[in-house]
Amino acid sequence: MAIQGVTPILNVTDVPQSLAWFESLGWKRGFTWNDGGMIEGAGDRNPRGEAQFASVCSDEAQIFLCRNGQGSRGTIMPRWPGDDATDGVWMSWWVDSVDALDELHTRAISLRYLVTMPPTNKPWGVREFHLRHTDGHMFRISSGLDR
């Protein structure tokens, strides 16, 4: 057996809001769907209502977003700077350079997103920072130090 890919599904409270969050960090909208089927142009809504399921993409990476289903959201809020406790999903995003990582961190800070760990060089050869999604999912944004 050969695995062709893995696509995580995040439980979110608001699909259009989550799409905007990811897009602000450089992801692209893939598709959107509601009870009427696919929404033309991957819009936030159509006459059948707001998007209930969607995807965001970046090169070969893809994440699905599902409103109120398929997993849980994080409910535990950080209690102090550096607190990474969450009951949401943890994922790693790999970016192509340390400079790209630092730029993404600067963008997240300027957007007032919750960064629970600033860019830090780790002994296992990566630089990373931790970014919390509005629904409590935690992203470990990383780049190899040799890149």
Residue span of the structural domain in which 100 resides: 90-144
61: domain CATH number is 3.30.1900
The pLDDT of residue 16 is 98
25 within a domain of the structure (yes/no)? yes
Closest CA to 11 of 134, 93, 141, 140: 134
> Cα–Cα–Cα angle for 54, 7, 78, nearest 5°?
80
Q: Tokens for 70?
A: 């398929």
**Cα–Cα distance for residue pair 144/3, rounded to 1 Å:** 24
Q: What was the pLDDT predicted at 147?
A: 62
Do 104 and 63 share a structural domain? no
The reply to whether 53 falls in a domain is yes
Residue 85 contacts residue 79 (beta carbons within 8 Å):
yes
Q: Does residue 62 sit in the same domain as residue 96?
A: no
List Cβ neighbours of 61 (8 Å cut-off, separation of 6 or more): 93
Residue 52 and residue 15 share a domain:
yes
Question: How much is the pTM?
Answer: 0.91
Is residue 127, in this structure, part of any structural domain at all? yes
74 domain-assigned:
no
E strands present in the chain: 9-12, 28-34, 37-38, 45-46, 49-50, 53-58, 61-67, 90-94, 114-121, 126-132, 138-144
Kindly state whether residue 16 falls inside one of the protein's structural domains. yes
CATH value at residue 96: 3.10.180.10
Q: Record the tokens describing residue 30, joined without a space.
A: 């893939």
* Domain count along the chain: 2
Q: Where are the alpha helices (DSSP H) in the chain?
A: 15-24, 98-110
| Torsion angle of the four alpha carbons 108, 137, 28, 141, in this order, in degrees rounded to the nearest 10 | 50
Report whether 100 contacts 85 (CB < 8 A).
no
pLDDT in tens, the chain (147 residues): 998 888 999 999 999 999 999 999 999 999 999 999 999 999 999 999 999 999 999 999 999 999 998 888 877 777 766 667 777 788 999 999 999 999 999 999 999 999 999 999 999 999 999 999 999 999 999 999 986
